[in-house]
Structure 1
Amino acid sequence: MKRIFPSACAAAVIAGLSASFAGPAAANADKSDIDGIWQAQGYGFWLSVTGEEATIDQITAGGCVSMASIKSVIRDGAVARLQDITLNGMGGALGPLQGELTLEEDRLLLDLGKANLISFTRADALPESCTNRPGSDALASFDVLWHGFQEHYAYFDLRGVNWDEMRATYRPQVTAETDDETLLNIFIQMLGPLRDGHVSLITPEGQIADDVLPEWAEGLEAEQMVNVVRNAFTLHAPEGTRPASSMGLGMTAEGLGYMTLINFDDALVAGEVTMASIMGELLTAEPKMKALVIDTRVNFGGSDLAGYALAAQLTSDSVEIGNKAVWEQGRWHTDTPLTIQPANAHVWDGPVYLLTSGVTISAAETFALALSHFDNVTLVGAPSNGILSDMSFLTLPNGWAVSLSNERYLNAAGENFEGAGVPVDIAVPVLPEEIAAGRDRAYEAVLQHLAQN
């Protein structure tokens, strides 16, 4: 495991937060109201709502931990807005989230800007473990981390890790008096073998994650990786209307639209510059565009919904792209079907070429997975990184936070590309030195394919 600090990754963490809520509340609340205690389907979180107040508890066999605070609950009939949902302890460094609750018959549905809603059922009371919470010592933190992964991490078999053996090896090395440095090293030895970029520790030392990268990107800082696609953008669209700082947009000499995306920011769904406005800008400026190239070969992820918003601009028909489910204690909960509906305006349904690599990460991968179902899209480059699952979180008793992968995205054929990455139609390596020198083999492959089709 190694430390990573790119700001785009922090955005991806916030956008991918898979949370739900809890705390003390009225056990006998009116069933037509959201007041009361609610248990999430999956995730291990409990939500407690009383009037304008709400809290979150995280409950595992390791104990009941106060996970997050919510600034206020603003009600409007059966809907309630949750303002400034903030993880306790070091998780607070990720920044606050906003959410919306909707009461639907006997379920409470939480919208956190994810591809799926999180479903809660009403409970009479919090579990007894919440009356005797674990202390803040190292042993308590070890037990919460181990049980949290045991109950919610979905990919031990895929990653080749025996979690029971990890407990047998490392728990005897921990006592209540174990210092932070020793505990941190133990956690790194436990989590590192997962080789999962969505598994991280958030401590006073910073965010520590397993930075799994393709060979060409090994040893490069985030900014150096980004410079590879910035060089490609400058090579293909030097007169672009938008520079490739976080997003590049322009036309190539061969009449192809060229879009570079470094992340999928939430603002691209509902901000001042949306995916719809970007496509409108491009299509208005270049009505005779032959094809569109979307370069995500270095994209640190962000919001699935931002990717889906762009996908909606690339089809005139509804497209089923698979489904999503959450893992809990040895099984997958009910799948949520995923469908891309075409946008109302500024649709380009001509040829699209999506460039990917092993640094196409997280939400950029769910975007690639979605586009793999489009008849007008060809994927070019190398398979994506292989961390499609959103990041769920654990708050440890000592104040540290831990992220983990607890979800799956299946394509319409029922295939899961976690660990392997979304495959491509045309395999082309990323060669940074060649791109810097003026040659981009992926773009050459695009031109060749376009000429033959």
Structure 2
Amino acid sequence: MRGLLFSFLIFLTFLGTAGSAADPDGVWQTEGYGYLFDVRGQEVAIYETTAISCLPSGLIPGALEHLEGEDAEARFGVTIPGFIEADMEIWPLGKDSRRFHRSDTSTFMTAHKLAALPDACKVNTAATAQDTVAVFHESFKIHYPFFAEGRTGWPAPTVDAIATDQELFDYLTGLMAPLEDAHTALVAPSLDAMYFGAEGAGRSAPEESRKAGFEIVDGSYLRSPLAPYCRGMLGYAELVRGVGYLRVSGFTNFSEANTPDANLAAFERALDDFFDPIHGLAGLVIDLRDNAGGSDALALAMARRLTEQEYIAYSKQAYRGGEGGQAWTDETATWVQASDRESFWGPVVVLTGPNSMSAAETFLMALMDRAPEVTRIGDNTRGAFADMLPRILPNGWLFALPNERYLDSAGKSYDRLGIPPHIRVPVFSEEDLAAGRDSALDAALKVLTSDAR
């Protein structure tokens, strides 16, 4: 009896230990992302840190909810009104470590438990122009991995002449513009002004050329008018019998609610229709030549419909320029897992160009190890893969920058240079527009009809 009682006490002790290990309460510091999550029961506070600052994040947290029977142990909503609305999941990783996952990305941030909230997070940071510029400089120094070779930031700032918010806005955007990085941004509510790097990037097909090019596609190549899906973000038609044409204008805004769950549900219904066997699909052209990206999760949902085998889509690393030691966090793999819904496993051609960016590029990367091989036709993609890391400045302005790199199965990154095509064809060139043809689509049809024969 004493032995049984002793075993029972050990069992109770084990349960207590297991319960405390699964408790996400505490202060969690991320690797490579500059976040502190302070979790206390249902209350969550988020801070953004550099070596010189600790600021309450612009990412607004909701109440924490404990989960049962799921991989994640807890979650809470996070929002930046007008920009982000998602869940932040907390995944177990041992007693003193966790992984934080924002549901509208494929990013898992490793975090370690601190003894207490740092004192710097308990005081207000001054909000002068000098302080704002200093935090901006430091944030790019520790998070931005794509400065020119040998550089880790900009020269020391000289801000004595900045007297107004407009001058501050001009100074900060003047630093970002030469980067020509589509994933940089600045939002200044006090000026009602915004800057987005995607709008100023030099390597882009002109909008009027893209518009004219798609008019040629619609009028000369499709057997029927393009059928719109997902609020017009997708369009589907046949090129020739058995060869489908799917134009994807982005991986976002697929539903009226425009939430991750609603967008995914609408997308899955559209994909069910596209890949219904009734269409007799023997080949597929996916056109990403005017796709500014969106959600990696939606891009992966589409990749899942194009394979019958599981494989690694890509691996991700975050830059840790200010943390010492290795420059990048450990690789985290993202997988393509075959869907149990209607799918297509036959030959696929993807049309690409400099206006294929962000989630369009991660989708393309997720197809690199697909079998049979996907043929890429067109020009290099933009080379802007990483999620935009949202940051806040002492004066309340928001900005964003990329802090990650995506790697293929060979460990190669295509950031800045873009993913090259197998068959290089100019995107909506002046010669093609004048001749009323689409050379990329002609090449795609040649590939697919040759495969069919």
Q: TM > 0.5 between the two?
A: yes
Tell me the C-alpha RMSD between the 2 structures: 2.6
The reply on whether 1:53 has 2:43 as its aligned counterpart is yes
Give 1:103's aligned amino acid: P
Q: Is the 8 A contact 1:266 1:303 kept in 2?
A: no
Please identify the structure whose Cα radius of gyration is greater: 2
Among 98, 101, 115, the alignment partner of 2:106 is 115
In 1: Cα distance, 2:315 partner to 2:382 partner: 19
Q: In the alignment, which residue of structure 2 is the partner of 1:81? A: 75
Q: In the alignment, which residue of structure 2 is the partner of 1:102? A: 91
Among 325, 348, 365, the alignment partner of 1:369 is 365
Alignment of 1:301-316 (within 5 A): 301-316=293-308
Q: In the alignment, which residue of structure 2 is the partner of 1:167? A: 155
Q: Is the 8 A contact 1:361 1:385 kept in 2?
A: yes
Q: Which runs of 5 or more residues in structure 1 are unaligned? A: 1-28
Among 48, 52, 55, the alignment partner of 1:62 is 52
Alignment of 1:280-429 (within 5 A): 280-284=272-276, 286-329=278-321, 331-376=327-372, 377-429=374-426
Question: Normalized against structure 2, the TM-score is what?
Answer: 0.83
Q: Is the 8 A contact 1:232 1:436 kept in 2?
A: no
Q: Is the 8 A contact 1:41 1:118 kept in 2?
A: yes
The reply on whether 1:181 has 2:166 as its aligned counterpart is yes
Percent pairwise identity = 28
Instruction: Deviation per CA, 1:340-392: give whole Å up to 9, x if none.
Output: 12111322111101011100010000111121222431011111001011111
Q: 1:270 to 1:250 in 2, by over 3 A?
A: farther
Q: 1:30 to 1:315 in 2, by over 3 A?
A: closer
Q: In the alignment, which residue of structure 1 is the partner of 2:242? A: 255
Among 203, 216, 235, the alignment partner of 2:205 is 216
Q: 1:76 to 1:215 in 2, by over 3 A?
A: closer
Residue 360 of structure 1 aligns to a residue in which SS?
coil
Q: Is the 8 A contact 1:196 1:387 kept in 2?
A: yes
In 2: Cα distance, 1:353 partner to 1:444 partner: 11
More deviation, 97-106/133-142:
97-106
More deviation, 31-40/271-280:
271-280
In 2: Cα distance, 1:66 partner to 1:250 partner: 48
Q: In the alignment, which residue of structure 2 is the partner of 1:20? A: none
Instruction: Deviation per CA, 1:82-120: give whole Å up to 9, x if none.
Output: 12x234xxxx44243322223332222222122231222
More deviation, 198-207/362-371:
198-207
Give 2:85's aligned amino acid: P
Q: Is the 8 A contact 1:45 1:59 kept in 2?
A: yes
Q: Which runs of 5 or more residues in structure 2 are unaligned? A: 1-18
In 2: Cα distance, 1:234 partner to 1:53 partner: 56
Q: Which runs of 4+ in 1 moved over 6 A?
A: none
Deviation at 1:240, TM superposition (A): 3.6
Q: How many residues align?
A: 410
Residue 299 of structure 1 aligns to a residue in which SS?
coil
Q: In the alignment, which residue of structure 2 is the partner of 1:144? A: 135
Instruction: Deviation per CA, 1:65-91: give whole Å up to 9, x if none.
Output: 1113312112235722212x234xxxx
The reply on whether 1:447 has 2:437 as its aligned counterpart is no
In 2: Cα distance, 1:335 partner to 1:96 partner: 26
Q: In the alignment, which residue of structure 2 is the partner of 1:13? A: none
Q: 1:357 to 1:349 in 2, by over 3 A?
A: same
Question: Normalized against structure 1, the TM-score is what?
Answer: 0.83
Residue 156 of structure 1 aligns to a residue in which SS?
coil
Deviation at 1:172, TM superposition (A): 2.5
Deviation at 1:161, TM superposition (A): 5.5
In 1: Cα distance, 2:74 partner to 2:434 partner: 51
In 1: Cα distance, 2:175 partner to 2:166 partner: 14
Q: 1:452 to 1:213 in 2, by over 3 A?
A: farther
In 2: Cα distance, 1:120 partner to 1:336 partner: 14
Q: Is the 8 A contact 2:380 2:418 kept in 1?
A: yes
Deviation at 1:285, TM superposition (A): 6.2
